[in-house]
Structure 1
Amino acid sequence: MTLLDELSARARGLSARIVLSEGSDARVLRAAVMAADDGVAVPLLLGNAEEIYSVAEKQGIALAGIEVVDPSEPADCERRAAALFALRQHKGLTLENARKLASSPLYAAPLMVREAEADGCVGGAVHSTADTVRAALKVIGVKPGNALVSSFFLMIPPVNSAIDSQALIFADCALNVRPNAEELAYIASDTADNANRLLSEPPRVAMLSFSTLGSAKHPDATRVADATHAVEAMHPDLEVDGELQFDASIVADIAERKAPKSTVAGRANIFIFPGLEAGNIGYKIAQRLGGFLAIGPVLQGLARPANDLSRGCSVEDIYRMMVLTALQTEGAKREYAKI
Structure 2
Amino acid sequence: MRSLFGDLRGKIVGKNIKIVFPEGIDERVVRAAARLKFEGLVEPIILGEPAAVRNLLSSFGFADPGITIINPEDYPEYEEMKQKFVELRKGKATLEDADRLLHDVNYFGVMLVQLGLADGMVSGAIHSTAETVRPALQIIKTKPGISRTSGVFLMSRENTHERYIFADCAINIDPSAKELAEIAVNTAETARIFEFDPKVAMLSFSTMGSASAPQVEKVQEATKLAKEMAPDLALDGEMQFDAAFDEITAKIKAPFSPVSGQANIFIFPDLQSGNIGYKIAQRLGMFDAIGPVLQGLNKPVNDLSRGCSADDVYKLAIITAAQAVQE
TM-score when normalising by structure 2 = 0.95
Q: Does the residue aligned with 1:330 lie in a helix, a strand or coil? A: helix
Shift, 1:9, TM fit? 2.0
Q: In the TM superposition, what whole-angstrom CA distance separates every residue of 1:51-70 from its partner, at most 9, and x where no partner exists?
A: 32233345554342111122
Residue 7 of structure 2 aligns to a residue whose secondary structure is helix
* DSSP 3-state at the match of 2:97: helix
Structure 2: how far apart are the matches of 1:262 and 1:13? 43
**Equivalence for 1:209:** 204
Q: Which moved more, 1:70-79 or 1:306-315?
A: 70-79
Q: Tell me if 1:78 matches 2:79.
A: yes
The answer to whether the 8 Å contact 2:34/2:57 transfers is: no
**Shift of residue 48, structure 1, vs aligned partner:** 2.2
Rounded to whole Å, the distance in 2 between the matches of 1:115 and 1:44 is: 14
Where does residue 18 of structure 2 map in the other structure?
A: 17
Say yes or no: does 1:195 pair with 2:196.
Answer: no
- 2:218 maps to amino acid: R
What does residue 255 of structure 2 align with?
260
Question: Which letter does structure 1 place at the counterpart of 2:190?
Answer: N
Q: Could you tell me how far apart the structure 2 residues matched to 1:5 and 1:75 are?
A: 38
2-structure distance, mates of 1:240, 1:58: 50
TM-score scaled to structure 1, two decimals? 0.92
Cα separation, 2, equivalents of 1:63 and 1:29? 13
Between the aligned partners of 1:209 and 1:21, the Cα distance in structure 2 is 38
**Compared with structure 1, are the counterparts of its residues 103 and 50 closer, same or farther at alpha carbon in structure 2 (3 Å cutoff)?**
farther
Give 5+ residue unaligned stretches, structure 2. none
Report the CA distance between 1:99 and its aligned residue.
Answer: 2.2
Aligned to 1:43: 44
Structure 2 residue aligned with 1:123: 123
AA matched with 2:6: D
Secondary structure (helix, strand or coil) at the match of 1:122 reads strand
CA RMSD of aligned residues (A): 1.6
- Secondary structure of the equivalent of 2:290? strand
In structure 2, what is the Cα distance between the partners aligned to 1:235 and 1:263?
15
SS at match of 2:80: helix
Matched, 1:242 2:243: no
CA distance in 2 between counterparts of 1:59 and 1:13 reads: 24
Does 235-244 or 32-41 show the bigger shift?
32-41
Instruction: Please state how far the C-alpha of 1:190 moved relative to its aligned partner.
Output: 1.0
Q: Deviations over 1:215-274 (max 9, x none)?
A: 111111110111111111111110000001000001001101111111100000000000
Q: Identity of aligned pairs, percent?
A: 46
Between the aligned partners of 1:17 and 1:115, the Cα distance in structure 2 is 12
Kindly provide the amino acid, as one letter, of the partner of residue 301 in structure 1. G
Q: Is the 8 A contact 1:177 1:277 kept in 2?
A: yes
In 1, Cα distance between the equivalents of 2:65 and 2:10? 23
Secondary structure of the equivalent of 1:188?
Answer: helix
The answer to whether the 8 Å contact 1:77/1:103 transfers is: no
Q: Matches of 1:256 and 1:197 in 2, distance apart?
A: 30
1:132-143 equivalences in 2 (<5 Å): 132-143=132-143
Match of 1:173 in 2: 169
Measure, in 2, the Cα distance between the counterparts of 1:26 and 1:331: 29
The runs of 5 or more residues in structure 1 that have no matched partner are 333-339
Q: Distance in 1 between matches of 2:127 and 2:192?
A: 30
Q: Counterparts of 1:308 and 1:106 in 2: how far apart (Å)? A: 11
Alpha-carbon separation, structure 1, partners of 2:223 and 2:305: 31
Question: Which residue number in structure 1 is paired with residue 53 of structure 2?
Answer: 52
Between the aligned partners of 2:38 and 2:163, the Cα distance in structure 1 is: 26
What amino acid sits opposite 2:142 in the alignment? V
Separation in 2, partners of 1:318, 1:2? 18
Secondary structure of the corresponding residue to residue 90 of structure 1 = coil
Instruction: Give the aligned partner of residue 336 of structure 1.
Output: none
Shift of 1:323: 0.5
The aligned amino acid for 1:176 is N
Q: 1:234 and 1:118 mapped to 2: Cα distance?
A: 32
Q: Does 1:233 align with 2:225?
A: no
CA gap of 1:265–1:41, structure 2 versus 1, over 3 A, is same
SS of the residue aligned with 1:298? Answer: strand
- CA positional deviation for 1:302: 1.2
State the 1:24 CA deviation: 2.3
Query: Aligned AA for 1:258?
Result: K
Q: Match of 2:149?
A: 149
Structure 2: distance between partners of 1:104 and 1:210: 42
